[in-house]
Structure 1
Amino acid sequence: MVTGEDAEHIGTDLADKRWDATRAWAEKQLVEGEHIAAVAQLRGGWTSEIGGMDVRGPSGRRSLVLRSFVRPFFVRHAEGLLTREAAVLRLLHDTDLPAARLVAVDATAEYCDHPSLLMSRLPGTLRLGGEDADWRAELLARQLLRIHRLPVTAEARPRDYQAWTSPERVRPPEDTEQRGLWQRAVDVLRREPPQYRGCFLHRDFHPGNVLFTGDGDGLRISGVVDWVETSWGPADLDVAHCSTALALLHGVSTGMRFADRYVAAGGALADDPVDHLYWRLLDALAFAPDAQKVAVPWREVGRADLTPALLTQRLEGYVRALFDRYAC
């Protein structure tokens, strides 16, 4: 999801008759005297349609964001996803984490045309280019550590993490010349998951879900979005997911350095390198062989260089680098 200058004003979506019920529901969530003055489609989302709302009223202007699941697969799972995100946003309301504030949720489309969640709009934009990539990675590591350190009561603890792949589901790239490497990686996943110290996970933390403001020394994280997969599990798994994304976006070395940045910031990962390798591969192999799929929204916001061939090359190089560093 993106905001600010990355928003594209449209005359369809929430202005379309297919969205009449959703817009009427959203209007009912506003303060008396407010109205939706304009709607913008926000680019950068993959699992859902994201709409930005310019709200005006007696107290001035404010901005809201509407997330709606419209694809059949996500509609089927929307109740769990949106209910979980709503609960997480309530939990984060009084913390210092830069998350949106929940306004309302209709997880079963009782009132809306599609399952939807309405929330405040965070400042900032996505920054996915090469400029300041190292500094952004440093800020990402520090922010992820703050998420992991969030104190959560047993009652508020989210569900345990779910793996996004398995040995049976991994398919190596069709044109790979390193099938032995891929088989070795799959074999790592055949072991039982390592024991771990659990913590609060974003579970989908990567540069495409983080907003920034400022430039240079003034660059700051202004928002973390997309809390639908929030879970309880090993810090290694969140680190793994962001590392894979950085490897795809900026190259293998950037992805490999992220765990070091996290540890340098004060984070703790698995003591045994082989255990850490398991979590890293559990994430990386979830991208095989469709690494280009995750890059669709990245290309929409300017990373046209992320071709399927380049992404496949980077993913394979990243898997090889993981073995070089962590395998015994």
Structure 2
Amino acid sequence: MVTEEGAGLIGAGLGGQGRGATRAWVEKGLSEAEHVEEVVRLRGGWTSEMRRLDICGPGGRRSLVLRSFVKPFFVRHAEGLLTREATVLRLLGDTDVPAATLVAVDATAQHCDHPSLLMSLLPGSVRLDDEGADLRAELLARQLLRLHRLPVSAEARPRTYQAWTSPERVSPPDDTERPELWQRAVDVIRREPPGYRGCFLHRDFHPGNVLFTGDGDGLRISGVVDWVETSWGPADLDVAHCSTALALLHGIPAGMHFADRYVAAGGTLAEDRAVHLYWRLLDALAFAPDAEKVAAPWREVGRTDLTPTVLTRRLEGYVQALLDRYA
């Protein structure tokens, strides 16, 4: 997430119209001598409203992050999403994963104006520029592998992954000159899901959900955020999702190379090329026809070059590259 400078001075966006109950809920959890001094909107997300709350008290200043679901679709699903994220954040608290610490959750808006989750603020920032993308991709691959290797008991396993598209739901771009390409790709996922060796999945791991600090040799991942879709499933699916995002952000080669980086870091993917292709296309086709749902927050944080035309062209080229390599 990225800070929107100057936004949300004291009370704005939290104590204003439609936010009074949420502010009261937040402040009830603070010590008696603490108060919310400033509220700053964080940019870069599209499923929920994210705000940094700067807390002031006798012990100094600290900051928390408030996630609130306000869009009707996500409000309807908020109980499952926020309960899952709260559970995962508790689980990750005993690991070396750089995740936030859970402070409080009101998944059904029993106390808040909207379903909300309060957590600690992680250092760093989202970095989506093309410059330095290769180095960041190496770090992303290593971090993803560490997530997949987390030891999780059967009792603590998150839900089984859910597919985000199906052959019947895929919508090729309206102006495509290669309808046969899209049909070929859809035919690949027109089968029963392959068997797999399950592991812990972030399920929405991509550059927009990873925070970095430092530069050059000092570049480090300082945080991984957005755990509402955490699942249990094949490592190929997490790799597929990050690969699609990299292809859209930085070009087709970036998306094609990520799986190789993951394997080079020590990861294991499906040996059967057809199985790996299934997972890659199951993810990529969920972005059709134009990947606009990810483009809006990316443009908001500076990638104004990612127009609908550019994204559609990259997505189509990426689908072709996947078929060329794995089919």
Scaled by the length of structure 2, the TM-score of the pair is 0.98
**After superposition, what is the alpha-carbon deviation per residue over 1:2-45, rounded to whole angstroms, capped at 9, x for unaligned?**
35xx5552253213121000011001111331111100000011
Runs of 4+ in 1 over 4 A off after TM superposition: none
Q: Which runs of 5+ in 1 are unaligned?
A: none
Q: Distance in 1 between matches of 2:252 and 2:69?
A: 33
Q: Which runs of 5+ in 2 are unaligned?
A: none
Q: Distance in 2 between matches of 1:303 and 1:84?
A: 31
**After superposition, what is the alpha-carbon deviation per residue over 1:225-276, rounded to whole angstroms, capped at 9, x for unaligned?**
0000000000000000000000000000000000000000000000101100
Q: Tell me which residue corresponds to 1:274.
A: 274
Q: Distance in 2 between matches of 1:8 and 1:154?
A: 46
Q: Tell me which residue corresponds to 1:223.
A: 223
Q: Tell me which residue corresponds to 2:237.
A: 237
Q: Distance in 1 between matches of 2:6 and 2:178?
A: 42
**After superposition, what is the alpha-carbon deviation per residue over 1:190-232, rounded to whole angstroms, capped at 9, x for unaligned?**
1111110000000000000000001111111000000000000
Does residue 186 of structure 1 match 2:218? no
Q: Tell me which residue corresponds to 1:74.
A: 74
Q: Distance in 2 between matches of 1:41 and 1:8?
A: 9
Residues 237, 280 of structure 2: 8 Å contact kept: yes
Q: Distance in 2 between matches of 1:270 and 1:181?
A: 24
Q: Tell me which residue corresponds to 1:142.
A: 142
Count of residues paired in the alignment:
325
Q: Distance in 2 between matches of 1:291 and 1:139?
A: 24
Residues 290, 315 of structure 2: 8 Å contact kept: no
Q: Distance in 1 between matches of 2:31 and 2:310?
A: 49
Q: Distance in 1 between matches of 2:30 and 2:167?
A: 48
CA-atom RMSD, angstroms? 0.9
Residues 252, 317 of structure 1: 8 Å contact kept: yes
Q: Distance in 2 between matches of 1:276 and 1:8?
A: 46
Q: Tell me which residue corresponds to 1:317.
A: 317
Q: Distance in 2 between matches of 1:225 and 1:174?
A: 34
* Secondary structure of residue in 2 paired with 1:13: coil
* Secondary structure of residue in 2 paired with 1:86: helix
Does residue 254 of structure 1 match 2:259? no
Does residue 177 of structure 1 match 2:177? yes
Scaled by the length of structure 1, the TM-score of the pair is 0.98
Q: Distance in 1 between matches of 2:87 and 2:31?
A: 22
Q: Distance in 1 between matches of 2:6 and 2:211?
A: 17
* Counterpart residue type for residue 282 of structure 1: L
**After superposition, what is the alpha-carbon deviation per residue over 1:72-115, rounded to whole angstroms, capped at 9, x for unaligned?**
00000000000000000000011100000000000000000000
Q: Tell me which residue corresponds to 1:47.
A: 47
Residues 8, 38 of structure 2: 8 Å contact kept: no
Q: Tell me which residue corresponds to 2:65.
A: 65
- Quick one: percent identity of the two aligned structures? 78
* Counterpart residue type for residue 309 of structure 1: T
Q: Distance in 1 between matches of 2:71 and 2:166?
A: 24
